[in-house]
Structure 1
């Protein structure tokens, strides 16, 4: 046989071995651990690099018919050709993400292989980073960010304005708060408007809503004003697109001030002072979503912290999708499972805040001195470190994540009668709004 034949057989053998390893791991998780309940030293040996794999074969939340509980006020529109195309595009993106996740999950030693590849790239000086949605770019100070491409967000402005008008009809005050972009106009001019357009989208969203008389709160200039001695990037994690928990607490303070002005209701804002919290530190404990893609070869893990109020708290905390319905102090809002192990690739410490992204969370506050108002917050993951702190200032806080809540947000408002509706959401939008799955960030029907 020729060398070419030997090489082909060798590569084929490696491929068969890879599939065999994936099958063994899949069989261990699905059949032995999940079905037969054989969770022992042998099965754990097969999962040597992925201790949380058995948790991931089932949906995180139980299946709740949110559309049945909160049906849409208007019938679904007929699906046009454009709608069908968008639906197919989203299905393709979801399928690509599913295959990538499946490969990462079941292939033994996947992260070690990726790290080896990063070391090789580093050795040969290969530093090409493609500018695509979801790609990771590196700033001069080492902070990472996801670039967002040019895109017309008029459809998102219209959807948000429509929700604001509906809230007004229901007697609820409305506020839109865009998540601040990761880039700083003072230091990142080479990226802004060239590789990243998040600031342009934020400004377009604010201008579009303000032109219609809709209340907005732009935290971006306040971040520069309130932290004059702190470089802007340091208000965020180095390896993740989210802001620090202390920044989330600061954001809750500004939102509370707006609520106080708009509702003429006194808020105990001392509850939102950083001095009123004990900080529990976890040094070099968190590798964010951007850092996971770069691996620890190219990204230094972030320090992490949990904030605990120094004042007494008593809450009723409910997450229907996770089967949580409990009473206790503020600590019940933390998912400590995410901090059990220092696992850069398997755990997500930021998800400890408010149990990460859940379809619906309800927080009832029994403190006698808080404002007797109800807030509905429609949010994405940035608000996970904002909503629990803001909830300490009001009687009732309901939190909906439209990516997982498949019912009608308007029906929920119609039935629960919140005093305020806050939309705290990203404007880093790169795709057309998709309505059929009821899992689009901006599907506010």
Structure 2
């Protein structure tokens, strides 16, 4: 008991000392930048303001400066990491998020971090399934079939590993949606079930500090998808091309702090390795993306078009996003063509960021042109786009926490 008390006492002293440094540094920073506050006050008050207007302007200027204090905190990232270290030492597994609309970070029994959805279904499954089925009817009118693919979630439905008292409804919502879709005659493919059937090491498929799956898991999923496309949708995908033996593997050890890790610091759950998988054979791809006024296109080898080394190079762990190595940032529309393969089919994917570490590998084997619409960023109508593109198959592939994103099931824009 004495040892535990001494440890907690040392942690408390260190934390208080660092907190003093942070507050002192922040105060000094506010003083040095005081002219910004004075300028804002002068602009708000005006030249001939009365006492009441001046008081209001002063309050506005001070409040605006304080509102930005979180981002301008002295040694902010060090403070986040120390805060995470203190919580780790105390055994706290629930890191509450103070910002409205953001998810809290939960530590699972094996130390992996995750987000959760604490809200029950509330009619989600039926409403969303109805929207998908209606979209499927529109697709059928133009000769396209529809498949819903359920991407996996970091929590294993058979072994949640959640702290006591924490409830998560993510997998329940996904399963409810699949059931509602099947009742409406919509084809479904559940990658979560494939993981369980093959008895894969569940958490080893994901990053420790990020909500995404590993590139090697995306490669596995592409192989599973090839089988589904061939079996039920008349594709001629060659899964042998994406056998793991056909790729070089480079691991950047302890090089990345994922989306969940950035909220709790580098000491709470450690850092992630990042693996780079590149095909050994010569490749030739065309890659295009667009969002709003931004567009890009390039033709070349897999490693010159579908991946970008710059996302591995930033030294700031709180800025660096290694996951963007594959396909770059999220955009409304992405087009991938494997110029070395017959483009026998047209495949339209409606998905999210989980597709980034999945579609490059699928494009190697699918013998199809692949287009991705991300409705979080696409400004048009998915139904109208599909009617013009006339894909052989349209796939909706969602990670479960995409369910509550605005417009995720609005296919008519």
Fold shared, TM-score > 0.5 on shorter chain:
yes
**Residue equivalent to 1:273:** 243
Mapping of 1:12-411 within 5 angstroms?
Answer: 17-19=28-30, 105-122=71-88, 129-130=95-96, 134-149=103-118, 150-152=120-122, 153=124, 154-188=126-160, 195-226=167-198, 228=199, 230-321=200-291, 322-331=294-303, 332-368=305-341, 370-392=342-364, 393-411=366-384
Gaps of 5+ in 2: 1-21, 38-64
In the alignment, the residues of structure 2 paired with residue 121 and residue 338 of structure 1 have an alpha-carbon distance, to the nearest angstrom, of 30
In structure 1, what is the Cα distance between the partners aligned to 2:77 and 2:97? 23
> Contact conserved, 2:330 with 2:353, CA < 8 A, in 1?
yes
The offset of 1:338, in angstroms, is 1.0
Paired residue total: 354
Contact persistence 1:118–1:298 (CA under 8 A): yes
RMSD of equivalent CA atoms: 3.1
Q: Distance in 2 between matches of 1:171 and 1:302?
A: 44
Deviations for 1:318-347, whole angstroms, at most 9, x for unmatched residues?
Answer: 123443211101111112221113432111
> How far apart are residue 387 of structure 1 and its match?
1.1
Q: Per the alignment, do residues 127 and 308 of structure 1 end up closer, same or farther by CA in structure 2, a change over 3 Å counting?
A: closer
Q: CA deviation at 1:194?
A: 5.4
Other structure's SS at 2:299 match: strand
- Is 2:94–2:107's contact at 8 Å kept on the other side of the alignment? no
Residues 374 and 395 of structure 1 are in contact (CA less than 8 Å); yes or no, is this contact kept in structure 2? yes
Q: Using the TM superposition, give the Cα deviation of residue 192 of structure 1 relative to its aligned residue in structure 2, in angstroms.
A: 10
| Residues 109 and 163, structure 2, Cα contact 8 Å, conserved in 1 | no
Cα shift at 1:108: 4.8
* Contact 2:84/2:266, CA 8 A, preserved across alignment: no
Q: CA deviation at 1:278?
A: 1.0
Return 5+ residue gaps in structure 1 as ranges: 1-10, 27-98, 435-439
Conservation of the 8 A alpha-carbon contact between 2:218 and 2:357: yes
| SS state at 2:232 partner | helix
SS in 1 for 2:400: coil
Bigger relative contact order, structure 1 or 2 (CA pairs below 8 A, ≥6 apart): 1
Per the normalisation by structure 2, the TM-score is 0.77
State the 1:15 CA deviation: 6.7
> For residue 443 of structure 1, what is the aligned residue in structure 2?
410
Larger Rg: 2
Q: Structure 1 residues 314 and 419 mapped into 2: Cα distance closer, same or farther (>3 Å)? A: same
Pair 1:118–1:263, CA change in 2 (3 A): closer
Secondary structure of 1:397 counterpart: strand
2:10 corresponds to: none
